[in-house]
Amino acid sequence: MNKGYFRRVHAQSPTRFWINNPTLEQARLALDAGAINATTNPTYTAKMLKSEEMRPLVLEIIKNAKSEANELYQVAAMTQRRAVKLLLPLFEPLNKLNPNRQGFVSIQGDPMREDDPENIINEAIEDAKLGSNFIAKIPTTRAGLEAIRFLASKDVPIIATEIMSISQCLAACEAYRKSGGEGAFFVTCIAGIFDDCLRIQASEGKLQVDPDILFQAGCALMRRQYRVMSQENLPGILLGGGARGLHHFTEFVGGACDITINWKGTADELIRLDGAVINRMDTRENEFVLDELMAKSEVFAKAYLRDGLQVDEFENFPPVRLFRGQFEAGWAELKKEIENA
C-alpha cells in the first residue's frame, strides 16, 4: 500500500523530512505527509506578508507589536517571534512523543544584529518563552559559536545554521561538545545556496566549470559533511537546507540525516511524482568531478577541506554572505511593512 512519498522514505530509510517557512496550511499539509519539524529563517515574516492566508494575521501582529514597543528593531523581532509562534501548537504533539528529536519549530533572530553574541543569546532566551518545542537557529560564525557554547550549556535546543563548509561544521560540533550540554543539536549543510553561489560566480565569468559538474557541488559537500560527522562520531544530526531543486532532497535519501525543504515547488512536487525511495547518500563523487571543482573553484576547495577556513573567515565566506544577504533583504522588507502599517 502506497503511504505517500515521505512516509515511504521514513519507512525505508533513516532520512527525515522537515518543512521550511510554511504557512499554517502548508504546515498542516506537511505534517500529514510526514514532516517531523519546521524551520523558519529571518525572511519568514516577509514571506508570510505575501501570503493571502497569512497576511491578515501578520498585520494584526504588527499592529499589536507597534503598540508595545518603540524601536523599529524591537517591533520587527516581536513580529517575527509572534508569527512563528502560530506554528508551534501544530508541531507540539510530535514534540511530546519525542521531545529531543521531533516537533520543533525554529526561530532565527535579526540578521542585522548577528555579529553580537549577547544579542543572539538574549533573542534565543526570549524566543524560548514561546513553548517547549522552540529550537534556536544560530549562525555558525565567531559570534554564533560563542552563543552556541552558552546556550547549549543550558540545554537549549539548537540548529547551527549558515554552514557552507567542513570547517564550520567542525567548529559548530566542537562548540557544542565543549558546552557539556545534552539538548537537541542539528548541524546544517546549506547545499542549495552553496550551489547558487557557484552558479552566480559562473554567470559573472569568475568560474569556468562545466554546468554538469557545477550541478554536483552542493551534493558533494553535503555527502562529505555526512561522512565526516558519521566517521568521527561528531555530535548532532546533519540537517540539509537551502534546497534549490528536488535533488537537494533525493540525493541524500538513505542517510541518517534530516532535510528541510519548502512546500511549494519541492515537497508538493516530490509527493506528486511519488518516486522510488533509493539510497543515494552513499554515492561517491566521481574523482574527475572533484578534481575539477577543487582545481577551478576556490570557494569549493575552501568548503571541502577540513582546514579550508579560519573562524574569522566564516561570516564573509561568499556562500554564507549570499545567504545572509537574503536574510537581510527579508528583514528590510519586514521593517518597511512595519513602518507603513
The set of cell numbers assigned to 134 is 522552540
| pLDDT for 2 | 62
Residue 341 has a pLDDT of: 86
Q: Is the dihedral of CA 22, 28, 31, 36 positive or negative?
A: positive
**Which domains can be identified in the chain, with CATH numbers?**
5-340 (3.20.20.70)
The 10s digit of each residue's pLDDT in 140-188 is: 999 999 999 999 999 999 999 999 999 999 999 999 999 999 999 999 9
Mean pLDDT score across all residues of the chain: 97
List, for residues 177-233, the tens digit of each pLDDT value: 999 999 999 999 999 999 999 999 999 999 999 999 999 999 999 999 999 999 999
- 231, 240, 321 from 162: Cα distances, Å: 22, 11, 9
| Through-space distance between the first and last CA atoms of the chain, rounded to whole angstroms | 50
CA–CA dist 80, 40 (Å, integer)? 10
- What is the reported pLDDT for 42? 97
Tell me what pLDDT residue 3 has: 82
d(CA 63, CA 79): 9
Is residue 137 pLDDT above 70, yes or no?
A: yes
* Residue 73, CA distances (Å) to 3, 69, 254 in order: 45, 9, 42
How far apart CA 321 and CA 336 sit, in angstroms, is: 22
H helix or E strand, kind and range, residue 123 = helix 117-127
The total number of residues shown for the chain amounts to 341
* Dist. CA 212–CA 222, nearest whole Å: 17
Does position 65 have pLDDT exceeding 60, yes or no? yes
| Residue 205: all three cell numbers together | 565569468
Q: Buried b / exposed e across 220-235, counting CB within 10 Å, b at 16+?
A: bbbbbbbebbeeeebb
pLDDT at 74 over 90: yes
114, 259, 237: which is closest to 173 by C-alpha? 237
The pLDDT value recorded for residue 256 is: 98
The three three-digit cell numbers of residue 264, written as one number: 511549494
pLDDT at 133 over 80: yes
pLDDT in tens, 220-272: 999 999 999 999 999 999 999 999 999 999 999 999 999 999 999 999 999 99
The pLDDT tens digits for 6-55 are 999 999 999 999 999 999 999 999 999 999 999 999 999 999 999 999 99
User: What's the average model confidence in pLDDT over 77-84?
Assistant: 97
pLDDT at 169: 98
Question: E strands of the chain, at which residues?
Answer: 16-20, 37-39, 105-107, 134-139, 158-161, 185-189, 237-240, 258-262
